[in-house]
């Protein structure tokens, strides 16, 4: 199961239900995908085919909507 947290700017932000416990979010679009750690700091964990400009835009979106992502994480994983 991979619940969508939200969609913005052509990107889908989501979680995988059976993955590691460290808080993170996955992002996918037609060009590729990435994974970002949220704790202790926002950090790129993995990138597949996304440009530097796309990663910068994704980071901006995550920062702007970080509280929403963290609330969704805690609701989904019971944190």
Pairing of strands 4-8, 43-48: unpaired
Question: What is the C-alpha to C-alpha distance for residues 76 and 59, in angstroms, rounded to an integer?
Answer: 22
The pTM for the full model equals: 0.95
CB 34 within 8 A of CB 25: no
Task: Please state the domain extents for the chain.
Answer: 4-77
pLDDT above 90 (res 60): yes
The first and second tokens of residue 27, run together, are 């992002």
pLDDT above 70 (res 79): no
pLDDT above 80 (res 45): yes
Secondary structure letter of residue 29 according to DSSP: E
């Amino acid at each position: 199961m991979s619940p969508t947290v939200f969609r913005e700017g052509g990107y889908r932000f989501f979680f995988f239900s059976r993955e590691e416990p460290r808080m993170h979010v996955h992002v996918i679009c037609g060009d590729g995908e990435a994974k970002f750690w949220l704790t202790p700091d926002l950090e790129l964990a993995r990138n597949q085919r996304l440009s530097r400009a796309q990663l910068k835009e994704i980071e901006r979106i995550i920062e702007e909507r970080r509280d929403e992502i963290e609330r969704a994480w805690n609701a989904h994983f019971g944190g």
